[in-house]
Structure 1
Amino acid sequence: MERTMLSRTAQRTIPRCSRAASSRADFLARQSAPARIAAASHQDKAYRKQQQLLRSILAIAIAGGVATLTQHYLNDGMLRVAHAEAPPKDEENALVFEASRKKAGLSKEENRDLISSQHHQVKRSWENPGVYAWGSNSGRVAAPDSTENVIKTPRRINFFDGMLLRDIKLDRNAGAAIDEKGNLLQWGTAYAPDTKSPATTLQGKDLVALSMSRDRVLALSRSGKVYSLPMSAEDQAAGIKPSESTWLPFWTTPSPVSYRLIAPKDLKSPEKVTSIDGGLEHALLLTSQGRVFSTASSSDSFPTRGQLGIPGLTFLTRPEGPYDQPHEITTLRGFSIAKIACGDYHSLALDRDGRVFSWGDNSSGQLGFDFNAESSIVDAPSLIPTQKLYSGTSQVPSITSIAAGGSNSYITVDATKVAAQTGRLLTEDEAKANRGLGRVTADTFAFGAGIYGGLGNSRWTHVQPSPIKIPSLSGLFEYDERTNTTVPIRLAHLSVGATHAAAVMRNITHTSASTDLTSSDDSTNWGADIVFWGGNEHYQLGTGRRNNMSSPTYLQPLDMEAEIKRAKRSTGGKEEHRFHITPRATAVLGDGRRVSVEQRVECGRGVTAVYSGT
């Protein structure tokens, strides 16, 4: 067809060119000599161009004809009819669809395990609760029954198999935990040089939370009492043991271990201590009325870097009484404090209106203020100027949580989009900027030391005095199928050690697939994302490598041996999946108990643990 059309075009063009040549001769005959010469020259050029065009068209027509004839003979002289054909097979690049992992003869739950690694992880966290630890083991903390100096990847501590814990705190040489009954467990060489498993120390106090200083353990009871006891088993046995009441009326007996009560004065009934946190030498106590008290928490060193929040308070100027008596931080009166956090030598407090106060050591900028070489100590709570973080963005920030550890501080922010206030008609760009009013963006900021990667912003900064955003933990959204809306992804929890940190995301989770009788065979459970970053000298990040990480990173599943077995059953080979932490849910444990349980992470000083919490 193409060849025929080109030939006809050529045929129509030839007569037109002949007629043009005849007209040219008549025209030249009527002109004067100079005009005829000029006209002839002009017409010759035009004529040559027409001839060149003619030759080009003829060449194209001939080439098209040859191509058509060649294609005709290559296809056995038969004309092709246009129709839909299957694409040619490319064995190398062909798409291969994964075969179903379901296997005949298995139950719905067994097939769910094969389908999803996350479902498998959630299920195992319920069937086999316990503690996984990794990092430094020089003090027999990460693996009490091992002589290895480091534990490179998560490993179960056999002693805690099947146990639920209320809290856990870890140091390189000491570990402490509260069991399901509220009793204190301790281990590590700082507790006893020959320790090989945790031992129960303080019993019958219904403990709920812990804090560890350089050489003491502080424990908060459900009733609001704060107990301070030596870290060492030897000191617990040799120290003064308070008398305790017994089940017999008017009968007391000495406590099995030595401890001190840290009791704030002038608590108003029914005010009590509801939260504790501490550093290497100090601790903060938060009451149910939003008041904050500070206390010395170490036996061998009194706080000297302003971390108590009491201007002028030193060991020599302290009031009469015990060196570790609590002091109310009076400059915070009038602010209803909701949360407290402590680094090694600094403190943070967040009030219910979203304002953050900091005090103590600022040598790395961990207070959120510019570093002052003449004095790196701020001995009274000072307001961090967080409003300037969103200046010029049409967003209003509200601090939602705080965290601290070592020489680092962290804050999480809900930033709400508001209308730009200009006092005039908005330009087109300003009108576009006003779209999405009321939209909340969740961001995370870090400040302090970044030389080990603790800022989480992919940079290695010695001193960071102003809060800087962690990109991979900020501005995240996901689609909620239940509400058909896009929602921000916030942080559920931040745990900060001496040089490293972990963040648990509050992403949408699902834990009812196994109990929902209406769920499909393909419905599976999944947990919350968790990431780690910072110092890794002792393998405390759990990556199996020793390099520090300046940006949040995922880990492989905790129980890799079980994960590999699952993968071999489903695909015949090893799969790469990341660790998801199981959120709180009511589940049936391996021993048949039905309880409310969740997995939690705890970053200590060179050690990390994930445990089953009640």
Structure 2
Amino acid sequence: MPPPLSLSRYAALGLRRPQLIHAAARTHTHTRPSQWIRHSSSAGPPRRSASRYLVLLAVTLGSAGATVWAYQTYSPLQHPPGPPPIEQAEIVYEKPRKRAASKEENRALVSPQHVQVKNSWEHPGVYAWGSNAGRVVAPDSHEPVVKSPRRIAYFDDQILRDLKLDRDFGAAVTEKGDLVQWGIAFSRNVAGPTVTLRGKDIAKIAVSRDRIIALSSGGSVYSLPVAAADQTLEEEPAAKSSWLPFWSASPVLPAGCRSLKPENLGWGERVVDVKSGLEHCLLLTSKGRVFSAAASAEEFPSKGQLGVPGFTWQTRPAGPYDQPHEVKALSGAKVKEIAAGAFHSLALDSKGRVFAFGDNSTGQLGMEPEKGTAPQLDTPTALPVAKLYTGTGYVPKVTSIAAGGLNSFFTVDAARAAASEAGQDPVVAETWVCGSGIHGELGTGKWTHISARPTKIKALSGLAEYDEKTKRMTPIRLAGIAVGSTHACAVLDNATRTTSTRASASASDTNFGADALWWGGNEYFQLGTGRRSNANVPVHIGPLDGGVGAGGLPAEDSRMQITPRTKVRLGEGGKGRSVSVEQRVECGRFVTAVYSGA
């Protein structure tokens, strides 16, 4: 086989620079990239066009296979066949990152959670989302729904004692203890929040279908109409002042506002908590006694939720229809917590026992209704929690309760009867639920109309984290559950950090809050996921100030967190007044809010 022609020989013959076509036999095991030579499109046409093709082959045989070299020349009228042009990739260089000028700027760059905590201190206020049919979550807008958290401008840079939202009205207690109301059920002529009750030092509130139950710091309880038309500016005649200079006169109430006074309170005993359903309210005293009362002018409680056997509109005693009555069936238990759903009630005593009474049409009392009887109980009955742990080797104790709509929730500390494994806490924290689940409000992953037997919420049970102080795994409990009519939110009591602002903290020390998870009905975007689909298991949502990822779901490192209680200085750079503040979650009827609480 003659050797290939040299380049100078091709030039003498008027041929183009050779193109190398490399073909390797399948048995060839070694092909070097240096053997490839690209065809040069910049070379000129051949000098002689008489010969259209001249092919010279050089075959080199080797032990591993064969390589074929093919040289071609082309007519000036023929476009040389070559590989398709390769699209040049655009090279984008990463822009230089902003260099943190301070420890605080470095923390903000590396941690979205730190930014959330910082914003909650520097810019306290109220975020709301969900149905806006009643002009509640966005008083200055006519949008039917608000899909993601939005600030209510009226409450910017304010800290509230309490906040309750309904689809048609909202009520809040300012830091000074004044009551503020808004929404179309309050007034169609007043666009924004308005102070309706001043000077009563209100500490917390509960709302029914058409009234607001307000508790003062001193233990006084007031029932105020939601509608402004039922409130007047005229005040009742002032009570005469006592001749004792240190004895204050009776509070003066606006017309339309009623005072709820439990009878036979002991020395030093006062009301310390209030909860309300659509038609009733519960009052808890400092000595663990429970009172109930009607809380609506539209309908008298008739489903046993008052906890007084045989109590109806026809059998009520003489006097105001909304006078409180003691739930005497609970007199032997020192109750420490109360909760109210739409038409049912819960009470938790100091021994960890849960008592339920009222409507049981969807199993919200945690007990199967007896056949042939009305699906309700007017006598408080202990929920059989111990049966839930039969044969498990655990001894349960209920630690908290919550209720709303047609659902009941309770958390349990289940202690191992036998010795625990090394490095493990002997207690497992679990969350249970019963009632309606057609919208996913059970959070168990199922869609069901009735769940009479309590079911464990697996996503909120058996959680644990490593405790640096005790050097062991410890259970993660719930800091609280906010329950609306068809949805709920659980705030975890996981490890948090709020001390990175100390001078001794390093630039890598960041603050972070408590995780919040949401589930249930989402027909009005009240879950805050940005989508309308319901969720039957707890899910994370994006931060209050944005950060939602693809599909409306947040990135793992930018989920919403709730800032725990801590003492801080408000304002930019922490130059404002010093206060103790925390973020809280409120779930109402098709609406949701997160606010800065005093």
Structure-2 separation of matches of 1:481 and 1:343: 39
Structure-2 separation of matches of 1:152 and 1:383: 40
Paired amino acid for 1:417: R
Structure-2 separation of matches of 1:287 and 1:117: 42
Paired amino acid for 1:405: G
Structure-2 separation of matches of 1:287 and 1:154: 36
Question: How big is each residue's C-alpha offset from its partner over 1:193-242, in whole Å with a ceiling of 9 and x where there is no partner?
Answer: 12221111111111111111111110001111100011111111188746
Paired amino acid for 1:163: Q
Cα distance, 1:506 vs. partner?
A: 0.2
1:78-117 correspondence runs (5 A): 103-104=98-99, 106-117=101-112
Cα distance, 1:545 vs. partner?
A: 1.1
Against the structure 1 CA distance between its residues 100 and 225, is the aligned structure 2 distance closer, same or farther, given a 3 Å change threshold?
Answer: farther
Residue 367 (structure 1) aligned to one of 365, 369, 375: 365
Question: How big is each residue's C-alpha offset from its partner over 1:369-427, in whole Å with a ceiling of 9 and x where there is no partner?
Answer: 0134631011100010000111111110000000000000000000011129xxxxxxx
- Aligned to 2:558, the other structure's residue is in SS state coil
Unaligned runs of at least 5 residues, structure 2: 1-28, 34-93, 550-554
1:36 aligned partner: none
1:81 aligned partner: none
1:509 aligned partner: 496
1:211 aligns with 2:206: yes
1:493 aligns with 2:480: yes
Residue 525 (structure 2) aligned to one of 522, 539, 542: 539
Cα distance, 1:484 vs. partner?
A: 1.7
- Aligned to 1:331, the other structure's residue is in SS state helix
Cα distance, 1:518 vs. partner?
A: 2.1
1:137-216 correspondence runs (5 A): 137-216=132-211
Paired amino acid for 2:179: L
Q: Is the 8 A contact 1:185 1:202 kept in 2?
A: yes
1:403 aligned partner: 402
1:205-604 correspondence runs (5 A): 205-237=200-232, 241=236, 243=238, 255-372=253-370, 374=372, 375-419=374-418, 439-515=426-502, 517-560=503-546, 577-590=558-571, 592-604=576-588
Structure-2 separation of matches of 1:254 and 1:161: 31
Against the structure 1 CA distance between its residues 329 and 290, is the aligned structure 2 distance closer, same or farther, given a 3 Å change threshold?
Answer: same
- Aligned to 2:437, the other structure's residue is in SS state coil
Q: Is the 8 A contact 1:275 1:287 kept in 2?
A: yes
Q: Is the 8 A contact 2:425 2:474 kept in 1?
A: no
Structure-2 separation of matches of 1:233 and 1:416: 51
Against the structure 1 CA distance between its residues 524 and 238, is the aligned structure 2 distance closer, same or farther, given a 3 Å change threshold?
Answer: closer
Higher helix share: 1
Q: Is the 8 A contact 1:364 1:371 kept in 2?
A: no
Against the structure 1 CA distance between its residues 518 and 259, is the aligned structure 2 distance closer, same or farther, given a 3 Å change threshold?
Answer: same
- Aligned to 2:116, the other structure's residue is in SS state helix
Question: How big is each residue's C-alpha offset from its partner over 1:288-344, in whole Å with a ceiling of 9 and x where there is no partner?
Answer: 010000000001211000000001101110011000000001111110001000000
Paired amino acid for 2:185: A
- Aligned to 1:201, the other structure's residue is in SS state strand
- Aligned to 2:366, the other structure's residue is in SS state coil
Cα distance, 1:125 vs. partner?
A: 0.5
Against the structure 1 CA distance between its residues 254 and 263, is the aligned structure 2 distance closer, same or farther, given a 3 Å change threshold?
Answer: closer
Paired amino acid for 2:99: A
Q: Is the 8 A contact 1:242 1:258 kept in 2?
A: no
Q: Is the 8 A contact 2:423 2:473 kept in 1?
A: no
Question: How big is each residue's C-alpha offset from its partner over 1:510-542, in whole Å with a ceiling of 9 and x where there is no partner?
Answer: 010112x22221110000000110111111111
- Aligned to 1:403, the other structure's residue is in SS state strand
Structure-2 separation of matches of 1:227 and 1:180: 18
Paired amino acid for 1:588: R
Q: Is the 8 A contact 1:136 1:607 kept in 2?
A: yes
Against the structure 1 CA distance between its residues 508 and 312, is the aligned structure 2 distance closer, same or farther, given a 3 Å change threshold?
Answer: same
Paired amino acid for 1:274: V
Moved over 2 A (4+): 99-105, 238-258, 371-374, 433-438
Larger gyration radius, structure 1 or structure 2: 1
Cα distance, 1:256 vs. partner?
A: 4.2
Q: Is the 8 A contact 2:235 2:254 kept in 1?
A: no
Against the structure 1 CA distance between its residues 251 and 286, is the aligned structure 2 distance closer, same or farther, given a 3 Å change threshold?
Answer: closer
- Aligned to 1:118, the other structure's residue is in SS state helix
Against the structure 1 CA distance between its residues 276 and 224, is the aligned structure 2 distance closer, same or farther, given a 3 Å change threshold?
Answer: same
1:93 aligned partner: none
Paired amino acid for 1:329: V
1:613 aligned partner: 597
Against the structure 1 CA distance between its residues 266 and 501, is the aligned structure 2 distance closer, same or farther, given a 3 Å change threshold?
Answer: same
Paired amino acid for 1:607: V
Q: Is the 8 A contact 1:278 1:343 kept in 2?
A: yes
Against the structure 1 CA distance between its residues 120 and 101, is the aligned structure 2 distance closer, same or farther, given a 3 Å change threshold?
Answer: farther
- Bigger mean CA offset, 215-224 vs 189-198: 189-198
Paired amino acid for 2:390: S
Cα distance, 1:243 vs. partner?
A: 3.1
Cα distance, 1:556 vs. partner?
A: 0.4
Structure-2 separation of matches of 1:251 and 1:416: 51
Cα distance, 1:247 vs. partner?
A: 12
Q: Is the 8 A contact 2:369 2:376 kept in 1?
A: no
Q: Is the 8 A contact 1:408 1:448 kept in 2?
A: yes
Structure-2 separation of matches of 1:358 and 1:309: 9
Unaligned runs of at least 5 residues, structure 1: 1-69, 75-98, 421-432, 568-573
Give the total of aligned pairs: 502
1:122-141 correspondence runs (5 A): 122-141=117-136
Q: Is the 8 A contact 1:417 1:437 kept in 2?
A: no
Cα distance, 1:257 vs. partner?
A: 4.6
Structure-2 separation of matches of 1:441 and 1:578: 25
Cα distance, 1:547 vs. partner?
A: 1.1
Question: How big is each residue's C-alpha offset from its partner over 1:143-199, in whole Å with a ceiling of 9 and x where there is no partner?
Answer: 111111111110000000000001111111110010001110000111111222111
Q: Is the 8 A contact 2:425 2:475 kept in 1?
A: no
Structure-2 separation of matches of 1:440 and 1:207: 38
Q: Is the 8 A contact 1:504 1:531 kept in 2?
A: yes
- How many percent identity over aligned positions? 54
Q: Is the 8 A contact 1:408 1:447 kept in 2?
A: yes
Cα distance, 1:466 vs. partner?
A: 1.0
- Aligned to 1:299, the other structure's residue is in SS state coil
Structure-1 separation of matches of 2:249 and 2:294: 33
Structure-2 separation of matches of 1:513 and 1:102: 23
- Aligned to 2:108, the other structure's residue is in SS state helix
Q: Is the 8 A contact 1:241 1:259 kept in 2?
A: no
- Aligned to 1:243, the other structure's residue is in SS state coil
Q: Is the 8 A contact 1:238 1:258 kept in 2?
A: no
Structure-1 separation of matches of 2:386 and 2:100: 61
Paired amino acid for 2:276: G
Against the structure 1 CA distance between its residues 207 and 356, is the aligned structure 2 distance closer, same or farther, given a 3 Å change threshold?
Answer: same
1:82 aligned partner: none
Structure-1 separation of matches of 2:124 and 2:96: 27
Against the structure 1 CA distance between its residues 266 and 577, is the aligned structure 2 distance closer, same or farther, given a 3 Å change threshold?
Answer: same
Structure-2 separation of matches of 1:575 and 1:483: 28
